[in-house]
C-alpha cells in the first residue's frame, strides 16, 4: 500500500511538473506573439552605426515596446539585401543618397530624403601622425614601407569615394597615374565597409585609412583634413567633383553603374516591402526632427542637411514631407 501511494505521489509530481512547463511555455509564446510587441528592421551604412544606436535608444525611451533589428553594412551591400535577396526592411539609410535613386527607385522604393553630410579624411595611428600633412600625403601613402586601408568600392560608398578623391587629387596635383598606383597598392587591406578598417588601424596592421570624418570623430581617431578641392565636402564644388567617376556593381548581377563625384550627402527611404510602415514613419519623424534625431546626428559629427531637395517628393508620406523639399 505504501509503495502504491509513493508511486501515485511520484506520478502526480511528474504531472504537476509537466503542467507547469506547459504554462510557462504558453506564457512565453504569448509574450512573443503579443500585439504590443513591435519591431523595426533598419539596414544602414556602417558609418551610421554610432548615431543609429543613439537615436534608436532615445526613441525607445518613449516607446519601450519597440524592438529594433539593425544591420550595418556598406550601403551598396545593404541595398542589394533588398533588391537581390528580397529581405524585409522597414528603413534603408545610405551613405550616398544617389545610389538609392539608381538602385531602388522606382522598383523597390518611391522616394528618397537627404538628411546628413560628411567629408573624406585620412585617419592615422598616433605614431604616424607626425609623418603626414596636406602637402605630402600622396607621397607618404605611396611609400613601400607604409600600409594603408580602404573599403571596397563595390560594396561601400566610402570605397568608391576614396577612388574619386584619388581621381581629383591626380589632376589637382598634376601627378599622372596617382590614382591607379595607389589603388594597386595594399589591396590586401581593402575591407567590405569603412568601419571594418578601424580594427586594422587600432592593431597597427595599417598606418593610415581613408574614412569619413564622422567615423574618425566618433572613434576618437587622429585624422588629416583634405582640401575642399578633393574631400567631397563642398556643395560649391559640385561641378568639379562631377568630373571624377568610377564604375561599381549595379543592382542586377553582372551589371555596372557609373558613380560620379558629388558632395557627400546621406539618404534614406522606406522600401515597398516595409513590414511595419506606420511605425517606420513615426520613427523617421523622430529621426529627422531637429531636436531629436538630427541633434544626435550632429553630435556624432554629421551635420544635418534637412530639409533638402528629395527624389519622389510627392510620394513621401505626408507626415514626413516637411523634412524635404521638392526638386529644383
Give per-residue pLDDT as tens, 48-107: 999 999 999 999 999 999 999 999 999 999 999 999 999 999 999 999 999 999 999 999
pLDDT in tens, 106-119: 999 999 999 999 99
Name the band, by pLDDT with cuts 50, 70 and 90, for residue 33. Answer: very low
Residue 149's nearest CA partner among 195, 218, 181, 117 is 195
Residues 91 and 153 reside in one and the same domain = no
Distance CA 228, CA 231 (A): 5
Please check the confidence at residue 10 and state whether its pLDDT lies above 50: yes
pLDDT in tens, 295-320: 999 999 999 999 999 999 999 999 99
| The pLDDT of residue 254 | 83
What Cα–Cα distance (Å) separates residue 238 from each residue in 57, 197, 261, 322? 35, 28, 8, 25
306, part of any domain: yes
Last residue in a domain, options 212, 247, 282: 247
Name the band, by pLDDT with cuts 50, 70 and 90, for residue 6. Answer: very low
150, part of any domain: yes
Please check the confidence at residue 23 and state whether its pLDDT lies above 50: no
| The pLDDT of residue 328 | 77
Last residue in a domain, options 214, 247, 280: 247
Residues 233 and 284 reside in one and the same domain = no
Average pLDDT of the residues in 213-238:
95
Residues 43 and 87 reside in one and the same domain = yes
Residues 205 and 94 reside in one and the same domain = no
9, part of any domain: no
Residues 302 and 242 reside in one and the same domain = no
191, part of any domain: yes
**Total domain count for the chain?**
2
The overall average pLDDT reported for the chain is 90
Residue % of the chain over a pLDDT of 90: 82
Residues 127 and 218 reside in one and the same domain = yes
Residues 190 and 276 reside in one and the same domain = no
Name the band, by pLDDT with cuts 50, 70 and 90, for residue 25. Answer: very low
Residues 61 and 97 reside in one and the same domain = yes
> Are 172 and 269 contacting, i.e. CB atoms less than 8 angstroms apart?
no
Average pLDDT of the residues in 235-264:
92
> Are 159 and 150 contacting, i.e. CB atoms less than 8 angstroms apart?
yes
Name the band, by pLDDT with cuts 50, 70 and 90, for residue 41. Answer: very high
Residues 239 and 190 reside in one and the same domain = yes
Residues 170 and 281 reside in one and the same domain = no
277, part of any domain: yes
pLDDT in tens, 252-290: 778 899 999 999 999 999 999 999 999 999 999 999 999
Grid coordinates of 162: 576614396
13, part of any domain: no
Per 3-state DSSP, the chain is made up of helix, strand and coil in percentages (nearest 5) of 45, 20, 35
26, part of any domain: no
Range of the domain at 241: 120-247
188, part of any domain: yes
Residues 106 and 124 reside in one and the same domain = no
Name the band, by pLDDT with cuts 50, 70 and 90, for residue 126. Answer: confident
Residues 279 and 240 reside in one and the same domain = no
What Cα–Cα distance (Å) separates residue 282 from each residue in 198, 276, 285, 318? 33, 10, 5, 12
Distance CA 213, CA 217 (A): 6
| The pLDDT of residue 129 | 77
**Range in 20-24, 92-96, 152-156 the model is least confident about:** 20-24
| The pLDDT of residue 138 | 97
pTM of the predicted structure, to 2 decimals: 0.82
pLDDT in tens, 168-218: 999 999 999 999 999 999 999 999 988 899 999 999 999 999 999 999 999
The enclosing domain of 297 has a CATH number of: 3.40.190.10
Residue 32, CB-side half-sphere exposure with 13 Å CA sphere: 6
Last residue in a domain, options 247, 275, 303: 247
| The pLDDT of residue 127 | 80
Name the band, by pLDDT with cuts 50, 70 and 90, for residue 12. Answer: very low
Amino acid at each position: 500500500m505504501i509503495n502504491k501511494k509513493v508511486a501515485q505521489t511520484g506520478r502526480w509530481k511528474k504531472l504537476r511538473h509537466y503542467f507547469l512547463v506547459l504554462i510557462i511555455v504558453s506564457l512565453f509564446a504569448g509574450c512573443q506573439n503579443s500585439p504590443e510587441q513591435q519591431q523595426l528592421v533598419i539596414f544602414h551604412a556602417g558609418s551610421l552605426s554610432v548615431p543609429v544606436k543613439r537615436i534608436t535608444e532615445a526613441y525607445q525611451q518613449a516607446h519601450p515596446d519597440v524592438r529594433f533589428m539593425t544591420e550595418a553594412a556598406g550601403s551598396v551591400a545593404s541595398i542589394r539585401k533588398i533588391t537581390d535577396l528580397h529581405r524585409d526592411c522597414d528603413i534603408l539609410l545610405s551613405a550616398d543618397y544617389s545610389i538609392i535613386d539608381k538602385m531602388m527607385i522606382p522598383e523597390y522604393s518611391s522616394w528618397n530624403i537627404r538628411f546628413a553630410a560628411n567629408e573624406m579624411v585620412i585617419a592615422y595611428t598616433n605614431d604616424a601622425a607626425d609623418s603626414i600633412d596636406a602637402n605630402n600625403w600622396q607621397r607618404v601613402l605611396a611609400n613601400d614601407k607604409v600600409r594603408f586601408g580602404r573599403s571596397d568600392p563595390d560594396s561601400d560608398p566610402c570605397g568608391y569615394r576614396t577612388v574619386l578623391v584619388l581621381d581629383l587629387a591626380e589632376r589637382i596635383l598634376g601627378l599622372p597615374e596617382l590614382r591607379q598606383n595607389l589603388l594597386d597598392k595594399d589591396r590586401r587591406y581593402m575591407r567590405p565597409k569603412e568601419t571594418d578598417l578601424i580594427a586594422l588601424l587600432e592593431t597597427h596592421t595599417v598606418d593610415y585609412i581613408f574614412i569619413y570624418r564622422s567615423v574618425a570623430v566618433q572613434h576618437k581617431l587622429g585624422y588629416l583634413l583634405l582640401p575642399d578641392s578633393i574631400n567631397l565636402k563642398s556643395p560649391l564644388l559640385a561641378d568639379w567633383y562631377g568630373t571624377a567617376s568610377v564604375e561599381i556593381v549595379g543592382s542586377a548581377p553582372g551589371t555596372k553603374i557609373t558613380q560620379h563625384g558629388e558632395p557627400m550627402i546621406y539618404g534614406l527611404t522606406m522600401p515597398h516591402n516595409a513590414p511595419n510602415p506606420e511605425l517606420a514613419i513615426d520613427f523617421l519623424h523622430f529621426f529627422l526632427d531637429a531636436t531629436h534625431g538630427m541633434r544626435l546626428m550632429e553630435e556624432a559629427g554629421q551635420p544635418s542637411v534637412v530639409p533638402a531637395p528629395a527624389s519622389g517628393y510627392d510620394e513621401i508620406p505626408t507626415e514626413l514631407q516637411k523634412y524635404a523639399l521638392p526638386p529644383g
